[in-house]
Amino acid sequence: MAKVYIFLADGYEEIEGLTVVDLLRRAGIEIVMVSLTGSLSVKGSHQITSLADKLFEEVDYQDADMLVLPGGMPGTTNLIRHEGLDGLLKEFHQKGKSLAAICAAPTVLGTKGILKGKNAICYPGHEDKLEGATLVNSAVVTDGNIITSKGMGTAIDFSLSIIQHFQGEAAAKKISASIMYQTTA
């Protein structure tokens, strides 16, 4: 079974984070919510407090198949500033492991040089931070081991793309049907 880690920083966009967690768990993909705050309690950008599964420092990421970054402000800024996450993202990139980011969070990958030569998308107005990427105007863009998405309104499509990445199109369609969702991508 695939194992995914999603990183929650204060100010993350709740829908972008929790939709991924919900849909991946429905698909049977193990996903661990990791707090970057030093506490399991993380306050989202709309003042909704979530309880993470683990603290960043408690996790050995060697078993991870993918790292996921939700957007939101100042969540994205807090992701960029986290030194441990910085090193982990660079390590995953060097190893060719899977990364996914939505809304403003693809800028975290862009500012670290991870999107060079890749097709990508992000929340409008942040495209200049996708350094070296080719912008593709789509709800979700998958380029090899990297998945990016536009924003909160694309959170379901983003989550289904992650499911498809690990389990194939039929599994993503099954989850989509089970939640009575019609894709916009």
C-alpha pair distances (Å), 112 with each of 79, 101, 102, 133, 155: 12, 13, 16, 12, 23
Q: What is the largest CA-CA distance in the chain?
A: 40
Contact in structure between 129 and 175 (CB atoms under 8 Å): no
Nearest CA to 131 among 80, 91, 57?
A: 80
- Nearest-angstrom CA–CA distance, 168 and 26: 15
- Nearest-angstrom CA–CA distance, 77 and 130: 14
122 is catalytic: no
The answer to whether the Cα torsion of 85, 31, 104, 16 is positive or negative is negative
Contact in structure between 156 and 26 (CB atoms under 8 Å): no
C-alpha pair distances (Å), 74 with each of 38, 78, 81: 16, 6, 11
Catalytic residue among 15, 68, 101, 103: 103
- Nearest-angstrom CA–CA distance, 113 and 84: 17
> Which of the residues are catalytic?
103
